[in-house]
Structure 1
Amino acid sequence: MSSRRALLLAAQALLLAPPVHAQQRPLRIITPFATGGATDALARIIGARITALTGQAVVVEAKPGAGGDLAMQAGAAAEPDGSTLILGSDSSLVRNPMLRRGIPYDPERDFAPIARLVISWYAIAVHASVPARTVAEFFAWAKANPGRVNYGSAGPGTLAHVIGEMMSQGQQLEMQHIPYRGASPALQELVAGRLQFYAVSAGGLLPLLREGSVRVLAVTGPIRQPDLPGVPTMIEAGFPQYDHSAFYSLSGPARVPQSFVDQTGALLGRILAEPDTAERLRVLAFDPAFLGPEAFRAFLAAERVRWRDIIARTGLTLES
């Protein structure tokens, strides 16, 4: 056998092998929000592909609450033996220590970054009873109706909370933040009219638009979304300062073996490159955006610098 063929076979074996130290037990993916939402679906799609490619059972374990703190704390405390992955996000891995006091974990110290999976675009949505068709009209209506606007989020410090507070502080609006244990229950409250506004990760929103109870004023991201071609981007709407999207990732507990990080990162890269998997994720409003361990670490470092600058420049604070 030629040395080139031997190397190719070895690489294939690495991609298909179950992560080390975890072959005899289920691989646990801890998620930060309630079951039934888009992030839960993301974890289950990835978990099913891990099982299909390696034969290893995967269990998705939801630990909602406290804006993701409970899940991150559980992940940080897990044994670093290759049996646990943590679904993290821009809020839990980047902004939380800058905006919230006393979070029970250190995102830089307590986790081993493995892969960025996807980027999620957001919809600036209002209940149909709100008489606004554009973002500018919503700001004008909210300013004229102080104290009447409730907005939701999947928990304190999540991107929906941050966007809402940036708007409140930047536009001098009196809006009340109401945190939930995930995006799905907050979205249900928007549909029911108990929330007037929600900057929502769009995965769970799209099927509800046919009911007519929710109106989308704008979307985040550099381009209009194919599912909402008539809806402008936040940049087109004239408010680029509120144009933010979320990312979701998988990490292990700190001190997990480097071999586990490398093998799992390679496996996740293979999964995210599958056309069928990519299409299933896009239906949930997730754009596959894989970064392996080294590139993901560099991305996190750059994001922390970027958000420190935004917070210093805007004076952004979070009350709850």
Structure 2
Amino acid sequence: MKRLVRASFLTASLAILVGHASLAQAQTPLSADAWPQRPIRMVVPFPPGGGTDAVARALGQKLSSRLGTPVVIDNKPGASTIIGTEAVVRAEPDGYTLLVSGSTSYTVNPALRSKLPYDPARDLVAVATVARAPLVLVVNASSPYKDLHALISAAKAAPKSIHYATFGSGSGPHLAGALLEQAAGIRLQDVPYRGSSQSLMALMGGEIQLGIDTVAAAAPQIKAGKLRALAIAGKSRSSMLPRVPTVEELKLPDAVFDAWYAIAAPARTPQTVIRKLVAEVEAVTRDSALQEQMRAQGMEPVHLGPAATRAVIDDEIVRYRALAHRAQIVVE
């Protein structure tokens, strides 16, 4: 009996020790050396084939090589990026689920939508901005507007006579058009289309007078002589259209609209993992082959770290909220 009691006591003591060891291990922060040990999932809140998807796949391939683990692209489109973004917010904060998205997820939605199932500022931690996708203002090649100031003069003379294409209320082209109105003191008429192909066809067919689209979408028609580029809406010129001036160069700094792509992780992801991820993403974005790949797709490679990305997000949310109030932009 004594031996049985002693054996039971030893077994119980061992179980307690194992339990304490497991608890201690669970409470120990995940070290950078221990990450990653399994595939990383990059959630893209857009369908395959778009700009965001291209950025994610290019980054994922390079990161996979550096980290020695698969990086899987998980497309979760819908609800203006809300579905995919929420999937990342709700994911385990362990460094194995990341968000790759454009400014829609980080600034436009929180600025224009009164109800979101999450708070990007609270529920996501910025890792890096990796690329910009400049928008270009274009007109039909036969248009009488030889430059942006000619178009502005016509718009001042006849308010709302110039129709421009958007992808719906609160889309990038819509915000860029509203910023141009505000900066130039004019009134334009927005017309929603389903996407670039439809809006550019409408522009070439004379249905509308102004297009605001990505350089990647518009450049082929510009180079084919079917469209004329008036200005780049971003802060810097496009390497794909180097001769086209920016709105800032044309003395309209308040009309700047920057579309960009960034990586984020769920809040409460261990800082050790975030620091390693930041370092790896920085190394990848400085890769010359990746930069050339991005430029070939009409994007401008950049690298902004967590603090700089967070500052851009905070600034744009304030700016777009004010713009939506003045321009009466409502997004349900």
Structure 1 length normalisation: TM-score?
Answer: 0.78
Equivalent residue number for residue 199 of structure 2: 190
Decide which moves more: 168-177 or 61-70: 168-177
* Count of residues in Structure 1 that have an aligned counterpart in Structure 2: 295
Instruction: Report the AA paired with residue 191 of structure 1.
Output: L
Structure index of larger Rg? 2
| Rounded Cα–Cα distance in structure 2 between residues aligned with 1:109 and 1:85 | 15
| Rounded Cα–Cα distance in structure 2 between residues aligned with 1:196 and 1:19 | 53
> What is the deviation of 1:127?
4.1
Equivalent residue number for residue 19 of structure 2: none
Equivalent residue number for residue 97 of structure 2: 84
| Rounded Cα–Cα distance in structure 2 between residues aligned with 1:222 and 1:110 | 29
Q: Tell me whether 1:46 sits opposite 2:46 in the alignment.
A: no
- Structure 2 counterpart of 1:104, from 104, 107, 117: 117
Q: Tell me whether 1:291 sits opposite 2:286 in the alignment.
A: no
Structure 2 length normalisation: TM-score?
Answer: 0.75
Equivalent residue number for residue 245 of structure 2: 232
Distance 1:129 1:56, change over 3 A: farther
Distance 1:119 1:148, change over 3 A: closer
Equivalent residue number for residue 151 of structure 1: 165
- Structure 1 counterpart of 2:80, from 67, 70, 83: 67
C-alpha root-mean-square deviation of aligned residues, in Å? 3.1
Please give the secondary structure, in 2, of the residue aligned with 1:285. coil
The gaps in structure 1 that reach 5 residues or longer are 1-13, 181-185
Matched-pair contact (CA < 8 Å) for 1:93–1:107: yes
Equivalent residue number for residue 134 of structure 2: 121
| Rounded Cα–Cα distance in structure 2 between residues aligned with 1:18 and 1:193 | 54
Matched-pair contact (CA < 8 Å) for 1:87–1:249: yes
The gaps in structure 2 that reach 5 residues or longer are 1-31
Equivalent residue number for residue 163 of structure 1: 176
Please give the secondary structure, in 1, of the residue aligned with 2:248. helix
> What is the deviation of 1:49?
0.6
Equivalent residue number for residue 12 of structure 2: none
Deviations 1:216-252 (A, max 9, x none): 1111345544433432221233422212212211001
Decide which moves more: 81-90 or 274-283: 81-90
Deviations 1:134-176 (A, max 9, x none): 22333455564847724123x6434322112233466442413
| Rounded Cα–Cα distance in structure 1 between residues aligned with 2:277 and 2:175 | 31
| Rounded Cα–Cα distance in structure 1 between residues aligned with 2:314 and 2:266 | 18
Matched-pair contact (CA < 8 Å) for 2:200–2:211: no
Identity over aligned residues, as a percent?
Answer: 30
